[in-house]
Structure 1
């Protein structure tokens, strides 16, 4: 079936179409972007599907994104996307806005028990019986002109996403629809939360093994890497590799030869930023004890595994009752945070991350399980 494709290549056309789209009950949104050697995604195409036709917005030609930003934030217009975390980054970078309310069809499929974390092609096949070509996913979306294959691929994505929502929507009874929207709002809220460079050391691999003095060095290394990645618009690992962070904080080299011997240290990093890193390590090592970070908690011991399994069983039982993919019910990091709050003898407290309907449905059951382990 031929798809009706409409190009939007100037600000006036975008404003005009945004006004029309905002009168609809929903729009399907997709993006094509490049992120090979940059920190931020570079938008190559924005697709909009309204169920009738596919609109292709050329971001290389648009200067005024304010009408599109207003559309994204219009509370009366539902925005439909699929597995959208990177699309959200594209929208934020391009327009300064994020879609709300947001319905992610990948999440919707999980709530309907169709499958968890299903790729777009598989879901379209499962629900609509349509086989999509996937040969353009890795092509150059910043080239102009785009090939006919690229254009067709991008248009089909937007068209079928609208059809997918139309097929799934009647099956999303309350409260499942509300849960999908709540999870969508959570995705947006997570992206809106400012990443504080000085806090990133907490997420570094093996950071819990370091002393408080060494954590002071790790904190500065992680913050420097994040700030430089943003300023240079380069991937974090291009600035300084992840696996070099821990040994740098642990061994604190004081010359370029020692620096070059650090695990996974790229010669380019030593050349470009070696002296900066040595200075940063030296200064961070002089941090007075009262300004050292608190020690980080150790990972849960192996003995906690049975308890973790019991907690997961609470989520699985609830998932079965509701006909939902069990992986959607309780995230591993939330269960681990719950266990860490009082292991081994309690009392336990529900982590901040376990919120909304999950807390209401399962919060007390999780605490009860920990109060009577093994029963």
Structure 2
């Protein structure tokens, strides 16, 4: 059966409503987005693509005042939304619709569990599974221009034309290997994480050098990070345009009390100094009035070299399990999860983070706990 690849433009509420009603009778639809973000904090949706096995529909978000039918479709629990490497797409929908689609099936995740490779691009996956070449020449196009070029329209349509076929082939492999539940759980975790409210107060914990600061400096870092996050959103500009992490850290470390001191911080944007310098000084001064009971707790420093053997043993165990299950080790555990296990063992009873208590517990979780206990016992012998 020939797969339809011709783009079908959708820019009226009547057409969109009719299509969404039809799509809500299907078990699955293919979904993709094209967006722009070079000068903004939030992604600007330029196109929503949906493939239903009968056509490739290109929804023009710029043509609509409201997209209720699309929102209802994206939230319909009876319709699986099939996407590839979907984290940015989920953010686009959350910005455009105020809703994160679900349930989803991410074919990049599915491909990793089906033995196709870790972090595989869609073009490579379609080529491997279907023998189809999907051009990527329009990736960096201006998706907000109107009209879109013929090349853009064809490119956008091809991004969803074969996606349901890829999905079907992955489902077959995953069911055969009894791994479909694993993929569904990981995809559900993605949706749940995307639906969580943003913790603006906690953004300071993401600053890489924050562990070097004492609690008083962390109080300053917390206040500055909160300001940067809220202002970037309010002004709809990239957060790094206000300042990057090294400058946040230096402000918190040096705690300047005048503009000249801020000017001497390497890399501080001149515009931020001119427009927001006094505000930054006020934020720092106010943070310094906090009492010790209001200060954040000091960060854990990076693990010392003395725990290198612990990490090596854990990674060796995961590598053996990954080989036994014919899986990339990256889908089983993240670097931060290794470190969390070691830190918990240093402090007392080793613990596993949330993900490792799900289906991963039987695959690697129990073994990780046993491994770190054995290593600790050997060190203390």
TM-score (normalised: structure 1): 0.96
User: Residues 110-259 of structure 1 correspond to what in structure 2 (within 5 A)?
Assistant: 110-173=112-175, 175-259=178-262
- CA distance, structure 1, for counterparts of residue 321 and residue 26 of structure 2: 36
User: Per-residue deviation at 1:57?
Assistant: 0.3
Residue pair 2:345, 2:373 contacting (<8 A) in 1 also: no
Quickly say closer, same or farther: Cα 1:146–1:236, change in 2 above 3 A. Answer: same
Paired position in structure 1 for 2:309: 306
- CA distance, structure 2, for counterparts of residue 194 and residue 354 of structure 1: 23
The one of 318, 323, 328 aligned to 1:320? 323
Paired position in structure 2 for 1:48: 50
Residue pair 2:103, 2:191 contacting (<8 A) in 1 also: no
- CA distance, structure 2, for counterparts of residue 171 and residue 369 of structure 1: 31
User: Per-residue deviation at 1:353?
Assistant: 4.4
User: Per-residue deviation at 1:282?
Assistant: 1.1
The one of 70, 74, 77 aligned to 1:75? 77
SS in 2 for 1:354: helix
The one of 323, 329, 334 aligned to 1:331? 334
Paired position in structure 1 for 2:298: 295
- CA distance, structure 1, for counterparts of residue 40 and residue 110 of structure 2: 31
User: Per-residue deviation at 1:168?
Assistant: 1.9
Paired position in structure 2 for 1:31: 33
Unmatched tracts of structure 2, length 5 or more: none
Paired position in structure 1 for 2:98: 96
SS in 1 for 2:162: helix
User: Per-residue deviation at 1:331?
Assistant: 1.0
TM-score (normalised: structure 2): 0.94
Write out per-residue CA displacement over residues 65-90 of structure 1, whole angstroms, 9 at most, x where no aligned residue. 22212211212111100000000001
Q: How many residues align?
A: 374
User: Per-residue deviation at 1:265?
Assistant: 0.7
- CA distance, structure 1, for counterparts of residue 281 and residue 252 of structure 2: 11
User: Per-residue deviation at 1:161?
Assistant: 1.5
- CA distance, structure 1, for counterparts of residue 127 and residue 199 of structure 2: 41
Q: Is 1:370 aligned to 2:372, yes or no?
A: yes
More helix by share: 2
Moved more, 166-175 or 97-106: 166-175
- CA distance, structure 2, for counterparts of residue 37 and residue 240 of structure 1: 14
SS in 2 for 1:342: helix
> RMSD in angstroms over aligned alpha carbons?
1.6
